[in-house]
Structure 1
C-alpha cells in the first residue's frame, strides 16, 4: 500500500494548508459558496459544506487525492466481496445485508449464494419478530411475551439501541406503531445495577432474553447472560423450561447450542460482518422486535439506497466520500484532533456513540496494510451528543476557547410528533441549530461586540 503522503495531491494539499487561511466569514461571502451542498439521491440526506474551512482549490485537490489513492477501486472491491480485510483474510460484506429484499442475488455484485443466505436469515428474523409481536411466542407457562431484554455490547448493542431510539415512533407505544408489539430493553454494561435496574420491573414469565455475541464468549455479555438466567431460575423457570425465554444471535451457533439456547431461537450471521456494521444483520432482531418487520425492511432499504448512491455517484457528489475527504483535510492538514457530532433531534441521543465505534474502531490503527507505520493521522477523536444540551455545557469552549473543533450539525427538516405545539418545538430546535452553525462560522470581532453591547445599553 502506497504511503499517501507521496501522492502529488497530498503534497498539493499540504501547500494549500500552509497558505494564509481566510476567516470563514470571508469564505461564506464568496460567490457560489451556497452551492457547496451534496445530496444523496433517494435517501433524503443533504449536507451543507459551505461552512467548512476549504475552497475550490482544496476541494479539487481532495478529489485528486481520492483518485490517486484508488478509493473507487477499493469501494468496488468491497462490493465484489474481495478479501479487503487482509489482516483477518476476510471479505467486508455488510453491504450484502442491505440488498434489495426478494432479490435472487443474480444482480448482486457479491453473488447469488451470499444473497440467498442473507435473505433466508432475514426472513427468519422477520418471521420471528412478527410472531413475538403478535403474542404467538409464549413463555414457559403459556403466557405471551411482553418484554425483550437484549444483552450485548459494542456492535451487538450500539447499533440496535441507537436505531430503536431514533425510530421510537414506530415502537410498540409510538404513534406510527405497526400493530401490537413488545417492549425492548438493552443491557450492555456488566455492572450489576445495569442489569438489575432493567429486570426489576419485568415479569420473568413474559420476558425473552436475547444474548447477542459474535463469538458467544464475550466476557461482559456472558456475565450478564448468566445473571439473567439466574433471574429466570429464581422465578422457578429452570432447565429446559428456560428454552422459550432464550434467544441467541451469534456467528458461533455451536457454542450457543452447547449453552442450552434452542436452535429454533438461534439466529446467525457471518464472519464477514464487522460488529460495528452488524445492526443490518440478525443482530438487528431487537430492532425488528421494537418496530416490526415491515419497518425493519424499510430500514434495510434505506441503507441499500445509500449503498446505491455510494456505488454510483461521481466523487464530487458522493456523500460518504466527500465526508471522508473533508475529515482528511480537517485532521491531517488543519490539524484538528477532535470532531464534534451535534445532534438536534432528541431521538438521535445515541447516534454519537454509534458513530464513535464505526469511525474510531475502523480508523484506530497505527500501521498500514503493508505493516508499515502510518505517516498520517488516521482519524479524529469523535465526541458529542444532543446539540441543545451541548449549548448549555461545552459550547462555551467551542465559541471562546482556544481549540479548533470541526462540528457536524445534524437535524431533520420535518417532525410529526403528536403534541399540540409540536411545530413550534421543531422550529425552536432548528433555529438553534442554524444559529449555532452561523455563530461558530462567522463569529464576532471585538469592535462588533463592543458596538452590540453599546447598542443594548
Structure 2
C-alpha cells in the first residue's frame, strides 16, 4: 500500500469514528491489556488514547508505506539521514557498549567514543579525589556549566533528575548551569561563588556560539580580577572546554589537556550522551553515567529489533500521528508526576520542536499536513493548580503525557511514602477525569460550569523506578519517537535552520544598538525601536 492510500484510509476511519468517546472504549473487556506495552522497566499505557484495533493496524500500515524499516536501518548504520548537512546522525553510537565495534568510513568510531569517555573519566576522578586545584591551591568544589540549548538543557535535566544517585565523593561538588545571553544568571551566581574553587565548563559544539562565549568571557574576567596569575595558567586551572571544534577552543585560550571532544555527527539536542555529559558524570560518577548510556542502548536495541506492534517508540509516535493529523490535536502537555523530572518538559520542548518544527519536506517542498505540535509542560501536581483548567474545560483539545515512577521512598519515612501514594493517586485521577469527564465520578447534579466533557487523550508512562538506566531509556524512547514521526511526515529532524536567520540578523543589528538613528536602515518598526534605544541611552548619560 502506498502512503497516500494509507493516509486516506486513516482519514476515512477518523471520520467514521468521529463520535467515539473514551468512556465507551474504556468499557471494552481487555482494553488495558490490549493497549499497554512494556520494555524492561517502562510501561507504555495507550489505553486512554482514542485508538481501536482497526486504527492501530492502519497506523502500522502507514509506517510500512513510509519505509520506516529502511529509515531505521539508515539511522543506525551511519547513512547521511541529515541530508541538508550531508552527514549521519549517530547519537546512538555514543551508547554502544565498549566491546561493540562500529565502523564508519573505515574507522571504528566506537573506539573514538570510548577514548573520549576515558578522557572524561580522568577529569571526573581528579575532581572526585580533590586533585583538581584552583589558582590558590584549594580543591575545586564548584562546577559551572556554560552552554545553551542541548549543551545546557540535557545535562541540567539529567543532573537534577539523578541527584540522589551521587556517589559519596561527588556530594562535595556543587553544579550550576548558565545559559542566558544577558548575563543575568551568571552575574547573580558569581556573587556567591569562590573563584579559588570554581571550574567553568564551556560547552559548545562549534565554539562560536555567541551566548556561550559571552558568558565564558565574563567568567574569565571575574577570575582575572580575583587572581594575579597569567591568563594561560588561570584558564588551565579553571576552564574545561567541550567541543567538536578544538581549534576554536585553542584560539580562545583553553589548554589542550582540558579539552573534551565529540563529533559533528552528534546533534546538539542529542549530545548529553557524549562528553557534553561531563557535568552528569561528575554528579553521578562514571558508573552512573555508563548506566544511563546502557539504558538508552537497550532502548535502541528494542527500537531496532522489536516488532512494530510491540515497539514502544513506534507505537508512541504513531499514536501521536493519529492525534495530530487525524484528530486535529495540536497541543501537547508533558506532565511528570515526579519533582526530579522538573526539567524534562523543557528538554522535550527542544528535542521535539527543534527537530520536527518543519514545514518543508526532504525535497524542499511545502508539507501538506501538520507536523510538530506545540509542547509545554510542568510537574503534574504544580500544573494542576495552573493550566489543568484548560485541559479539563477549555476549548482547545490537548494530548497529555503523564510520567510517573511506580516505586519511590522505599526505605524512607512513612510520611514520604504517603506523599508518593498521594502523587500516584493524583496522576491516575487526572488521566481518568481527562478521559471520562463527568462519568469519572457522578456529576449528574452539576451546573454547566462544573461539566467535564472528557475524551481528552493521554498516554501514561509508568517507570518501575527512576534510575540512571530507566531515565536513559526514557530519553531514548522520546528520541526515537521523534525520528519515527519525521519519517511519516517526510521531514529532516536533524537540522535546525530555523534558528540561524535570527542569529545573523542580530549580528547585523548589533553595531546599530545605542548609536544615532539611521532612518531607512531597516524596516519602520526596527528603525523606530533603534531610535528609542538611542534616546533612552542619551537621557541616561546626559548630566
TM bin, normalised by shorter chain, reads over 0.9
Contact 2:133 2:139 in 1 (8 A): yes
TM (norm. structure 1) is 0.93
Aligned-partner Cα distance in 2 for 1:406–1:258: 48
Taking the aligned partners of 1:119 and 1:354, their CA distance within structure 2 comes to: 26
1:99-114 residue pairs with structure 2 within 5 A? 99-100=96-97, 102-105=98-101, 113-114=108-109
Report how far residue 96 of structure 1 moved.
Answer: 0.2
TM-score by length of 2: 0.78
Tell me the alpha carbon deviations over residues 264-312 of structure 1, each in whole angstroms, 9 at most, x when there is no partner: 1101111100011000001000111111111111111111111111111
Counterpart selection for 2:114 from 119, 123, 127: 119
Which residue of structure 1 aligns with residue 427 of structure 2?
Answer: 433
Structure 2: how far apart are the matches of 1:396 and 1:78? 41
Among 407, 412, 421, the alignment partner of 2:405 is: 412
In structure 2, how many angstroms separate the alpha carbons of the residues matched to 1:440 and 1:137? 53
Question: Following TM superposition, by how much is the alpha carbon of 1:238 offset from its aligned partner in structure 2, in angstroms?
Answer: 4.4
**Does structure 2 retain, via aligned residues, the 8 Å contact 1:80–1:110?**
no
Q: Among 335, 359, 363, which residue is 2:356 paired with?
A: 363
Post-superposition offset of 1:422? 1.5
Alignment gaps of 5+ in structure 1: none
SS in 2 for 1:302: helix
1:207 aligns with 2:198: yes
CA 1:47–1:110: 2 relative to 1, 3 Å = farther
* Contact in 2 for aligned 1:105/1:111 (Cα 8 Å): no
* Cα 1:368/1:177, change in 2 over 3 Å: farther
- Counting only pairs closer than 5 Å after superposition, residues 10-159 of structure 1 correspond to structure 2 as 10-19=7-16, 20-42=18-40, 44-100=41-97, 102-105=98-101, 113-159=108-154
- Shift in alpha-carbon separation, 1:9–1:110, aligned structure 2, 3 A: farther
Quick check: 1:143–1:205 contact (8 Å CA) kept in 2? yes
The 3 A distance-change label for structure 1 pair 111 and 411 is: farther
- Which of 289, 298, 307 in structure 2 is aligned with 1:305? 298
CA contact (8 A) 1:98 1:304 kept: yes
Q: Deviations over 1:112-149 (max 9, x none)?
A: 61111111101111221121111111112221110000
User: For 2:191 and 2:61, how far apart are their aligned partners in 1?
Assistant: 57
Aligned with 2:256 (options 263, 280, 285): 263
- CA deviations on 1:385-431 (whole Å, 9 max, x unpaired) are 11001111110111111111111111001112744511101100000
Is 2:239–2:254's contact at 8 Å kept on the other side of the alignment?
yes
Tell me the distance in 2 between the aligned counterparts of 1:397 and 1:36: 30
* 1:184-333 alignment runs, 5 A limit: 184-236=175-227, 237-242=229-234, 243-333=236-326
Aligned to 2:492: none
Q: Secondary structure at the match of 1:227?
A: helix
Matched-pair contact (CA < 8 Å) for 2:144–2:175: yes
Equivalent position of 1:339 in the other structure? 332
**8 Å CA contact 1:249, 1:282 repeated in 2:** yes
Shift of 1:37: 4.0
* Residues 189/62 of structure 1: CA separation in 2 closer, same or farther (3 Å cut): same
Tell me, in whole angstroms, the C-alpha distance in 2 between the residues paired with 1:427 and 1:452. 29
CA distance in 2, matches of 1:178, 1:15: 60
- Do the aligned partners of residues 178 and 307 (structure 1) sit closer, same or farther apart at CA in structure 2, a change above 3 Å counting? farther
> Distance in 2 between the 1:374 and 1:195 partners?
41
Is there any run of 5+ residues in structure 2 with no aligned partner, and where?
448-543
- Please give the root-mean-square deviation of Cα atoms over the aligned residues, in Å: 2.0
Residues 39 and 312 in structure 2, CA contact (< 8 A), matched pair in contact too: no
Note the alpha carbon deviations across 1:313-370, whole angstroms, 9 max, x for none: 1101111111111111111111111111111100100000101111111101111111
SS in structure 2 at match of 1:290: helix
Conserved? CA contact 1:341–1:408, under 8 Å: yes
8 Å Cα contact 1:170-1:178 kept in structure 2: no
1:17-65 C-alpha deviation (Å, 9 max, x unpaired): 11233111001001221114444533x1111000001111111100001
CA shift digits 1:139-193 (9 cap, x unpaired): 122211100000000000000000001101023xxxx646654111100112222
Q: Paired residue for 2:525?
A: none
What secondary structure does 1:411 align onto?
Answer: strand
| CA distance in 1: counterparts of 2:34 and 2:331, whole angstroms | 23
User: Aligned to 1:162, which of 152, 157, 161?
Assistant: 157
CA distance in 2, matches of 1:340, 1:146: 37
Partner SS for 2:443: helix
Q: For 1:292, what is the secondary structure of its paired residue? A: helix
Partners of 2:38 and 2:147 in 1: CA distance: 32
Alignment length, in residue pairs?
443
Q: Which residue of 1 aligns with 2:379?
A: 386
Render the CA deviation track for 1:244-264: whole Å, top value 9, x for unaligned. 101100111001011111111
